[in-house]
Structures are given as structure tokens and as C-alpha cells.
Structure 1
Amino acid sequence: MSHSNSASVSLPRPSLPRSGSPHQKQSAPPSWLKWAIAITAALGAILEVIDTSIVNVALTDIQASVGATISEIGWVVTGYAIANVIIIPLTAWLGDYFGKKRYFVFSLIGFTIASVLCGLSANLPTLIAARVLQGLLGGGLLAKAQSILFETFPPAEQGIAQAIFGVGVIAGPAIGPTLGGYLTDNLGWRWIFFINIPFGIAAVVMALLFLPADQRRSAARQPQVDWWGIGLLAIALGSLQTFLEEGEQDDWFDSQFIWFLAIATVIGLTLFIWRELSTRNPAVDLRVLRHRSLAAGSLYSGIVGMGLYGTLFAVPIFAQSVLHFTAQQTGLLLLPGALASAITMVAVGKISSRVDARLLIATGSVLTTLVMFSLATINPDTGTDSLFYPLLWRGVGTVMMFLPLSLATLSPLPKADIPAGSGFYNLTRQLGGSVGIAVLSTLLEQRHAFHRAMLAESVSPYNLQTQQRLDAMTAAIQSRGSDAVTAQQQALQLLDQTLDLQASILSFEDVFRFVGIVFICSLPLLFLLARGRGNGAGANVH
């Protein structure tokens, strides 16, 4: 293989790059084109990430519109998530089979069309089918966007390039509810899907203009289709995601359905791993996990996903159930943290090439832990002002983990392994979020029951303080015109509501404290990561 141009980073002409012989090293793209590619890839990723959370605040309106039950409407979210996790690890193979540009453009066009179908859906089955299609096509945008950036930028510029990608991935889950709440309240729930149309069209045009053309390959070099691997992957990850989404609602292993999903997950994953490690043309190249940085970084990515999506799950529930915020108010509560994430992402991107990634990740983990312990001090008087700075610093801390972790995990990989590595890395973050939400929702319910039982023991009708409080509440209600029996019943209801509120607050404290402890316990994984400053194979990738 010729390396005559491998040291050159300047370009004599600003034309779009053309793929030549596979035995020749391509010149680096001109500066303006690199950033155009970065914005194109990031726009695709932002569309996908925002749609994972934008629907959540509109479920009540959608439920009323299509006549669905609470459990049925949940499949609008679950269907998208299942399709997402199934397709993400396949993106490397799909890009190799169809061509990276062709597959990315196809995903953008399909995602935009699926968004239109979601907005036009007249009933629940149609909406769920459209959401599954949207998830299948959107999953290709997330992993391929990061892969495209790693293959386009030299090591010295990876930090700022990944920062552009990370703005969408980190800020998207917080922007989604804010945007979704506004559109639902002012234009109707269908506009949470129609809003994708202009941005999808813009992304398609940019991808056609700026992404480099795919290399032509002979029929002999066309990768074979691993149908068994694809089928086993769909069974394994589809069962796992459904298990995580539905487990808490079905009381976990008290349900035969959940048992079936657990067994299908274990058998499916076992057969899938055996298949992919024994075939010459795997759908998902698990051999990339031989890279220590990818294996450790993917595990840590799952923990970051849990912290990112898990806390963004717990905070809105606290705001709406305890503080009685509307969907739009909850979105606005999360917005400053999203903006802080975007600003921090750019700042960290600029210094990441000069600072050990492990130091930044450790700083972000400690900061996030402090934020979690700060949130664990909430009380009935906690309001927007009390939550503002913790949520702001949560956004900063998450970025300090996310961006350096991407560099430390993927930058040491050879160019040929980056697509597969990126797909696996993004999958673990998505699954980490699902695991985080499942664990935290279960923990929230169990700790609520525990604290309520403990509080109820001390609130006995034979307790003098309890009786005095009940008498005072009854007298206050009677003074407003109620009779003695009604006043006593209302006083008991108020006492029960107070008990429930206090149990809820204590359970949220436990959840935030649990997340902080998990981040502290995960710090030893940093010793397995690379420095993440363009070292290793990245030096001869470009």
C-alpha cells in the first residue's frame, strides 16, 4: 500500500473528495468541507436523539387522540427504543454493504418520511408501526455520524469535531421535552413529528453535497449477508429492550411475559455471540472488543448513559409529581442545563487534544457525583431556584465525561475498526440509559413503599403528636363550614397525602444518592482507557 501522501494535510484544491483506488491514501478534505461534513453528521444525530425524548411530554395528548390505554400508549416510546438498539450495532455492516454515504442519506430520507407517517397516523397501530420505522432508520444516523467524524478529521481536531456531535447527543434529551411541550401546547402533538421535515430535508441536501462518494467495489468484494446474526441480534436486543421497558410495569419476574423475555434475551445473546465469533462475515464484528480502550470505554459509556438518561427521567417525574410543574415548565427547568452542556462541549473540545482524557472524565464523574448528592437534599420547599444550579452543573459534568470518553474509547482504534467500534459504543450508551431508567424507576417505587411503611409506623392514631395534628386539621376544616364527620375524613386524607409526599421525596433522595455512588464506583475503569489525545492508530488513520 502506498503511503506517499500520508504526511500531507494541506490540499492543493478545494474540490469534493472522490474515492479512488482502495490502494491509494486519500488526501484530507479541505478545512471548509470538513466542517460542512461535521455539521451534516451532527444534524442527523440531533434529529435522532431529540426524537427519543420529544414524544414523552405528548403521550397524554396522543393517548386521548388515538383512544389508547396508558399501557398501550407506552409502545409509542418502547417501539422506537427497541428498533434503535437493534439497528445501531448493525450500522457498521450496513455502511460497508451499501456504502457509507448511501446508507446515511437513505437513513435521513427514511427518517424524515417516517416522521411524516407518525404525524399523519390516525390510530395507535399505525403510529406504533411508524415509530418502529423511525427508530430503525434513526439508529443509523447516530452511530454513522460519529464514525464519519472520526474518519474525516485528523487526531488533532477530533476534540472539536466530536464536540459538535456531542452537543446533540447530550443536549438533545433535555431539549426534546422543552420543544415537545411547546409544540404540543401550541400546535398539537402531530407537530412534534412534522418539525423534523425541514431539518430532515436540509440534512439530506447537505449529505448529498458534502459527504465523500462511496468507493466502488467489485461483486467479489461485496460483504455477505449474515442473516442468522441479524436475526439473533433482533431477538436478543429486542427482548432485552422490551424487558427493560416493560419490566417495572409488569412487576418484573411476577410476570410470565417478563420471564419469557429474560430467557429469550439470554439464549439470543449467547447464540448471537457464538455466531458472530465463528463466522467469517459477521453482521456485528465483536472482535473489535479486543481493543482494551473500546471494551472499557463501552462499559463506562453504559454508566454515562444511565446517569444522562436516568437522571433526566427522575428529575421531570419529581418536578411534575411533587412540584406540580406542567410539561412545558419541566422542559424549561431542564433547558439551562442543556445550554450549559452545549457551551461546555465546545470548551472541552478545544482543550481535549492537550489534556489527558482520563483526567477530564474523572473530573466530570466527581462533579456529577457532587450534583447527585446535592439533589439528594431536596425537600418539600425545593423549587426552581434550588434545582437551577445542580442541573446546570449536571450538564457540565456530563459533557466532561461524554466527550473525552468518546476520544479515549475510539481514537486508539485503527480506521477499519472505527465503524464497528462506534456502533458498539453508541449501543452501550443507549442500553445504559434503558437500564438506568428501568433500575431507577424500580428503585423509586420500592423506596417509596419502604419509606411510606416506615413513616406510617410513627403516624399512629395512638400517637399523641399525630392526634393533636389531626385535631388541629379537623378544626381548621370545620371552621370553613364542614361538619365534624366530613372534616375528620378530609383531615385524614390530608395527612395521608402529606405522608405520601414525604415518602416520595425520600425515595427521590435515595435515587439521586444511588446514581452518585455508581459514578464513584466506576472510576477504576479509567485505568483501562487510553489517554485519548490522538495517540495510537489514529496517527496513521488520516
Structure 2
Amino acid sequence: MATYPTGFKRAIIVATAISAAIMELIDTTIVNVALNQMAGSLGATIEDIAWVVTSYAIANVIIIPMTSFLAEYFGRKTYYLGSIILFTIASYFCGQSTDLWELVFWRFIQGVGGGALLSTSQAIIFDAFPPQQRGIASGIFAMGIILGPTFGPVLGGIIVEDYHWANIFLVNIPVGILASILTILYIDKKEGEGQHKADIKIDYAGILLLMLGVGSLQFMLEKGESEDWFESRLIVYTAIAAAVGMIGFIWRELTTDHPVVDLRVMKRGTLGITTIFSFVAGIGLFTAMFVYPVMVQRIMGYTPTMTGLSLLWPTLIGVFMMPIVGRRLSAGASPLPFIISGILLMIAFGFYGGTFNADASQWQFFPAHMLRVLGISLLQLPLTNQAVAGLSPKEYPNAIAINNMIRQLGGAFGVALANNFVAIQYAQHRSDLMANLYPGNPLLTERLQSMGGASMRAYRMLEAAVDKQAYLLSYLDTFRIVGFFFVLILPLTVILRQKKKKSPEEIAAAAAAMAEAH
């Protein structure tokens, strides 16, 4: 008969797992409000500094689908403790970095460590409660995964404004040390953990092909615009490497008896079509959280703290929405109405978010952020639910891991897309605006007079104003592109399978699988 921790020990286990998960979640959002300061300090462009976000996402994309395999191979407690330690060490070196690419390297290592923290923390909390109390466990974890990203931008804003940006990484060190100690002392190994390591075959080829494909694809997307795409030999070689890596990875995982990621589950159920929705959801989530802080600080003069606070209040809506959606799905509700509603809200966010001007206040952005938070809240859990529709319980962990990998890949793609799209649109908008600055234009004459006459100083001020407006219009176009992606997937909802009522045994199996692979 299974035994479960109680009292003080359970509280410590929950606190340890929640602190590790929140540490990882905060780090995915705390960076966004510091990008301007990092770029200035490291002598990098906004386009290059995006690698600080992207490198972390790429590492997550590689590690997330392998989490179940790595936990089985090393043992869950050992893998969890090693991930916390790796994340903490990488955080220290991120804070000590004096060069952009040094920081990017350590952010990648940090992402390797962070990839295990979220899913394994959830599984540890889940196992601390008996089956009849696992609804409580899910609620506790849901609060943690909402509060982490909510307070990340605010904490980042305060740190960057009052201290050095490096401290957004160094604050992880005491939390990581404490979580490591508590893991050693209070988190027990699962029965049989690590005893069958010799029997597990490692798919080295699959791992290497995944790394080659994802890494090359992301490099091509990030550098394509600045290198003039396929006019550059570097981009051509990178594209070939990406194609070889991704095609080779798919072929390998479909043909080997011991795949690191079993892609065969995509042939069954609705997982294949669901990954399209998850990819676009990742674009919406990550792109908005990258573009907005850069835009308001670069164009509108927001401080990092103002930026964080403007994201805080609407995000708190998710604290109330996620548990409601989770309870409805647990009660047997179909995920389709939630998915359709979430898509419609993200479409509204994209096109409404593209209507602001340079004088917009924090509260004028509130409705747009509210639409975004509501949309993502209505999409996340239902898409996970839909990913396992039609699959057997033993296939759930792998299906959820693939779905999460695709969402992270969508986020990395979205950030790269935003960078390239802003560069293209900036050139176009600047050209259009400059076309209006012709001699004899009464508006031009009036503006020059307000700047003190037709002097060199006035022309420099005018050029700066044109640049600012061109960048603003480019960022707003990016929000519209996000909305457009959701328009494209809306018709595909007719393909998704209606969720059938599951037995209590199937619901319990699904919940356990989601705890292992969320």
C-alpha cells in the first residue's frame, strides 16, 4: 500500500518543488524587462540581445521532450537535484558575463537545467498527495506557475532600475542552494528509481540530430535578415544543416526501437493537429512578452519598473482563470469551446494591440493585456487535454512532452520572427515617413519652426522623431502578425475531436501523466 508524506514533511516537499518551479518560471520572464539595459551594457543591438531569450528557449525545446527519459535513466531525484544545481551555477555565470555571447552560452546552459524543473516539480508535488487529494495538488501547482511569470517582470524592473541587470540572475543563487539542500534532505526516491539504468538504451543519434536541427533552424531564423538570407553562404549551410537535422531526427525516431522522443504517437488521436495550435500559442505567448517591454522602453520611455507593473495587473486575471478552466475540464467539459474562445481573444489582442500611439499610458495597454492573458489562459490546459485525446494512458507522457516542445519551439520562432519583421518593417515605414518630408510641405515647415527653425539641430531632432515613429509602427505591426497567425488556425478547429467523457480511471491516469510530462 502506498504511503504519502504528511504534516511538516509534505509542506517542505511542496515548498521545495514550488520554489524550484517558480525560480525557473521567473527567469523566463524577468529577462524581458532588462533587454534594453543588457544591450546598452554589453554593446549589443536589440536584435542580437534577443539571443538571451532565444538560447534559453532552444535549450528548453531540446530538453523538454527528453525529460521523462532522463528522469528514468538517472533517477528522478538525482536528475531533479542535478538540474537545480546546473541551473544555479549557470545563473551565477550569467550574472558574471561581460560579453553578449558569453551570456548567451550560459543562458543556454541555464535552459538545459531549467527544462526539467517545471515538469519534475509538478510530479513531485503530485506524488506527495493521495489520489483523492490530487485536485489540491494541481491547484497548488497552478498557482505557482501563474505567480512566477506574473511577478517576474515586476521583480526584474525593480532590480534593473535600482541595481545592475546582472542581479536578475544572481537572485537565483540563494533559492537554488536552499532548494538543493531541501531536495537532498526531504525528497525521497521513487520505488525502483535508477535500478534499471543498465537496461535503458540511449538514443545518442536522436539527441544529436534534435540538437543539430533545432539549433541550426533557430540560427537561420535569427541571422537570416542581417545576412541577406540565401545570398549568404553561411545561411545556406545552416539551412542545409537544419533540414538534415530535422528530417534525420524524424526518420530516426520513427524507425528506432528505443527513441528518445517517440514520434509515433503523432499518428494516433489528435496530437498531430494539436501541435499546430500549440506552435501558434507559443508564438503568441513569447512574441508578445518579448516585443512589448522593448517597445514601451525604447519608444515610450517606460522605466523597467513601470513595464513590469503594466504587465502585473492584467496577468493576475490568469490566477483566477486557470483553476476555473482546470475544474471544468476535470468535470468532463470539452476543450473545444475553450480553445475557440482563446483563439478569438488572441486575434482581438493582436489587432487591438496594433492600434496604439507613442503617448499611450500603462492603463491604455490594460485591455490589450487582459485579452492576451484571457486568451492564453483559455488555451494552455485545453490544448494539453486535446493533445492526449484518443491516446492510451501510457502514451500520455510522451504526447504531452511533444506538445510542450512544439509550444517552446513556437516561442523561439516567434521571437526570431519579431526581430526580422521589425527590421523589415522599420525600413519600409521610415521610407514612407521620409517621403512626406519634402520642401514646401506646410506640416514640415510648421514642425521645423516648433524646433527652432531650419537648423541642423532641428533636422537631427526631426530624424530622431521619424526613427521613433518608424520603430513604433513596426512593433505594432508585429502584434498584428500575431493576430494573423491565430486567424489562420481558427478554421482548423473543425478538425479537432470533441472530447469524450472519460472514466474515473482514465482521468486519474491522465492526471498522473500530466504531472510527469507537463
Deviations 1:112-146 (Å, cap 9, x if unpaired)?
23323433456666644433322211112234445
Q: CA shift at 1:264, angstroms?
A: 0.6
| 1:471 equivalent in structure 2 | 445
Deviations 1:310-355 (Å, cap 9, x if unpaired)?
1112222321232121222212211112222223223322333233
| 2:242 equivalent in structure 1 | 265
| 1:437 equivalent in structure 2 | 415
| 2-structure distance, mates of 1:130, 1:102 | 22
Q: CA shift at 1:151, angstroms?
A: 8.0
1:50 aligns to 2:44 (yes or no): no
| 2-structure distance, mates of 1:327, 1:448 | 24
Residues 4 and 130 in structure 2, CA contact (< 8 A), matched pair in contact too = no
Secondary structure of the residue aligned to 1:352 is helix
| 1-structure distance, mates of 2:474, 2:99 | 37
Deviations 1:413-458 (Å, cap 9, x if unpaired)?
4443333223212111111111112223322332333333334334
| 1-structure distance, mates of 2:4, 2:126 | 21
Could you tell me which amino acid in structure 1 is paired with residue 478 of structure 2? V
Task: Between 501-510 and 429-438, report the one with greater CA deviation.
Answer: 501-510
Compared CA separation, residues 163 and 316, structure 1 to 2 (3 A): farther
Q: CA shift at 1:295, angstroms?
A: 2.2
| 1-structure distance, mates of 2:277, 2:388 | 13
| 1:521 equivalent in structure 2 | 488
1:98 aligns to 2:74 (yes or no): yes
| 2-structure distance, mates of 1:41, 1:396 | 27
Residues 412 and 534 in structure 1, CA contact (< 8 A), matched pair in contact too = no
| 1-structure distance, mates of 2:117, 2:491 | 32
Deviations 1:347-385 (Å, cap 9, x if unpaired)?
322333233211112112212222222222212432222
Residues 407 and 533 in structure 1, CA contact (< 8 A), matched pair in contact too = no
Q: 1:247 is matched with which residue: 220, 224, 227?
A: 224
Give runs of aligned pairs for residues 173-252 of structure 1, distance below 5 A. Answer: 173=149, 175-204=151-180, 207=183, 209-210=186-187, 213-216=190-193, 222-252=199-229
| 2-structure distance, mates of 1:343, 1:39 | 21
Q: CA shift at 1:254, angstroms?
A: 4.0
Task: Between 499-508 and 187-196, report the one with greater CA deviation.
Answer: 499-508
| 2:63 equivalent in structure 1 | 87
Q: 2:330 is matched with which residue: 330, 335, 353?
A: 353
| 2-structure distance, mates of 1:146, 1:382 | 39
1:327 aligns to 2:304 (yes or no): yes
| 1-structure distance, mates of 2:133, 2:491 | 28
| 2:438 equivalent in structure 1 | 460
Residues 34 and 157 in structure 2, CA contact (< 8 A), matched pair in contact too = yes
Which TM-score applies when normalising by structure 1? 0.81
Could you tell me which amino acid in structure 1 is paired with residue 162 of structure 2? N
Q: CA shift at 1:181, angstroms?
A: 2.4
Residues 321 and 377 in structure 2, CA contact (< 8 A), matched pair in contact too = yes
Could you tell me which amino acid in structure 1 is paired with residue 69 of structure 2? W
Give runs of aligned pairs for residues 402-417 of structure 1, distance below 5 A. Answer: 402-410=380-388, 413-417=391-395
Could you tell me which amino acid in structure 1 is paired with residue 477 of structure 2? D
| 1-structure distance, mates of 2:385, 2:130 | 12
| 2:397 equivalent in structure 1 | 419
Q: 1:363 is matched with which residue: 341, 345, 355?
A: 341
Q: CA shift at 1:398, angstroms?
A: 1.1
Q: 1:340 is matched with which residue: 301, 307, 317?
A: 317
| 2-structure distance, mates of 1:105, 1:532 | 39
| 1:113 equivalent in structure 2 | 89
**Percentage of matched positions with identical amino acids:** 37
Compared CA separation, residues 435 and 173, structure 1 to 2 (3 A): farther
| 1:510 equivalent in structure 2 | 477
Q: CA shift at 1:300, angstroms?
A: 1.1
Task: Between 389-398 and 501-510, report the one with greater CA deviation.
Answer: 501-510
Could you tell me which amino acid in structure 2 is paired with residue 277 of structure 1? L
Task: Between 77-86 and 210-219, report the one with greater CA deviation.
Answer: 210-219
| 2-structure distance, mates of 1:100, 1:411 | 27
1:389 aligns to 2:332 (yes or no): no
| 2-structure distance, mates of 1:267, 1:516 | 32
Could you tell me which amino acid in structure 2 is paired with residue 324 of structure 1? G
| 1-structure distance, mates of 2:196, 2:131 | 33
Secondary structure of the residue aligned to 1:382 is coil
| 1:481 equivalent in structure 2 | none
| 2-structure distance, mates of 1:246, 1:495 | 31
Deviations 1:205-249 (Å, cap 9, x if unpaired)?
555535661425765872111211121111111212323333344
Could you tell me which amino acid in structure 2 is paired with residue 401 of structure 1? L
Give runs of aligned pairs for residues 117-132 of structure 1, distance below 5 A. Answer: 117-121=93-97, 127-132=103-108
Unpaired segments ≥5 residues, structure 1 = 1-11, 17-29, 479-483
Q: 2:118 is matched with which residue: 142, 145, 152?
A: 142
Which TM-score applies when normalising by structure 2? 0.84
| 2:273 equivalent in structure 1 | 296
Residues 305 and 429 in structure 1, CA contact (< 8 A), matched pair in contact too = yes
Compared CA separation, residues 456 and 474, structure 1 to 2 (3 A): closer
| 2-structure distance, mates of 1:73, 1:453 | 26
Secondary structure of the residue aligned to 1:394 is helix
Could you tell me which amino acid in structure 2 is paired with residue 110 of structure 1? L
Task: Between 299-308 and 75-84, report the one with greater CA deviation.
Answer: 75-84
| 1:538 equivalent in structure 2 | 506
1:447 aligns to 2:425 (yes or no): yes
Task: Between 277-286 and 190-199, report the one with greater CA deviation.
Answer: 190-199
Unpaired segments ≥5 residues, structure 2 = 513-518
| 2-structure distance, mates of 1:389, 1:167 | 23
Give runs of aligned pairs for residues 274-289 of structure 1, distance below 5 A. Answer: 274-289=251-266
Compared CA separation, residues 352 and 445, structure 1 to 2 (3 A): same
Give runs of aligned pairs for residues 301-312 of structure 1, distance below 5 A. Answer: 301-312=278-289
Compared CA separation, residues 73 and 14, structure 1 to 2 (3 A): same
| 2:515 equivalent in structure 1 | none
| 1:7 equivalent in structure 2 | none
Deviations 1:71-90 (Å, cap 9, x if unpaired)?
87665444433322222222
| 2-structure distance, mates of 1:114, 1:248 | 30
